[in-house]
Amino acid sequence: MPLPASRSVRVLAATLVLLPAVAPAAAPPRFPAGSVWHQNIANAPLHPESTQMLQTLAGLGGWGNNNRMQIDFSLHVHQSAPADAPRYEVVPHRGSGEYWTPDCEALPTTMPVPPDAAFEGQSGLSCNSSSSDCHLLVRQGSKLYELYSGNLSGGVLDARCLAVWDLNAVYPPEGRGEHCTSADAAGFPIAPLLVNADEVAQRQGEPDGDLGHAIRFILPNARMATDSALGGVGGRLYVRPASHAGGPSGPRGTVPYGVRMRLRPDFDMSGYNAAARVILRTMQRYGLVLADGGNIALTFESDRHTTAKWSGLGITPQVFWNGAGGAAAIQVTDFQIIDTGPRIGETWNCVRSVAMPAIEIFLNGFDPA
């Protein structure tokens, strides 16, 4: 959960022939090809302390939930809100009075909320934001609205943060701003880094298919690095592509907020089905990015608004750790950490940045990496 400034303490050939083509209900939100999230890191230089950081993380317990690379399917994404969708005013969180500025969109503001949208883990537009993250993710045209700690009541949305992303833009290395959070603690967009059932279904019929984008992941805060020498609040720190750190509290030698790591190229995928191999190849080529604090490592988009369903793809919450079919359970030491730059002490002094339209990126040759 975000923790910003002034904030309180987030036989193969035969198989391929038989796989049906799946037409997606709507394309999931994605950024232009030049975005850091679409950067292929398969051959990117490793961080010089990659092995040591991962060994330290393993010594701290590895993944959360008893070192299980579990999947959470509770985040819904409304992928195509109509132009006439109802818009609701966003107000500060009613329980705490918090709303994080300048990190989040200035108030007063509104966001579109289609009647069939739903909060994280819910079937509708009510959520207990005092005990749950209560994300609400809605795309309308080229805008992606991501609400954190929200609830719809009395005709308004109360929340701690609304981050609006321009899906036609390529953001600079500091994202929406240095030391700025979003609806995700690391300052990341959420929906574009989720795994979507329709995109997996489309790619599983390809002999070498992947999803073409990084995937967000989560670790317990006590397993993420701190370093008081960097001058951050409470020793908090992050690395690119993050722009913010939540509440890390682990030793210096472990992985930091924002770390980007790739599955080793020699990882044994035998025992995994075609859909799972699409996800594994994505981890090898585009990697995982550390987005938030918590116990369930992976967050995939729910299949509430998709044509393909996770059960039909054979993707269960435990697919990457239970060893079914002889598949190898994925450990943190099966990854490699790439070098994305120095550690940055978290001051919580957000300075918002300006995204560049994709056409300007093309004309000016800007490198988001």
The chain-wide mean pLDDT, for the chain, equals: 91
pLDDT at residue 348 greater than cutoff 80: yes
pLDDT at residue 107 greater than cutoff 60: yes
The 3-class secondary structure across the chain, one letter per residue, is CCCCCCCCCCCHHHHHHHCCCCCCCCCCCCCCCCCHHHCCCCCCCECCCHHHHHHHHHHCCCCHHHHCCCEEEEECEECCCCCCCCEEEEEECCCCCCCCCCCCCCCCEEEECCCCCCCCCCCCCCCCCCCCCCCEEEEECCEEEEEECCEEECCEEEECEEEEEECCEECCCCCCEECCCCCCCCCCCCHHHCCCHHHHHHHCCCCCCCCCCCEEEEECHHHEEECHHHCCHHHEEECCCCCCCCCCCECCCCECECCEEEECCCCCCCCCCHHHHHHHHHHHHCCEEEEEECCCCEEEECCCCCCCCHHHHCCCCCCCCCCHHHCCCCCHHHEEEECCCCCEECCCCCEECCCEEHHHHHHHCCCCC
pLDDT of residue 358: 56
pTM here is: 0.91
pLDDT at residue 316 greater than cutoff 50: yes
- With bands split at pLDDT 50, 70 and 90, how would you rate the model's confidence at 23? very low
pLDDT at residue 99 greater than cutoff 50: yes
Average pLDDT estimate for 64-92: 97
Higher pLDDT, 111 or 13: 111
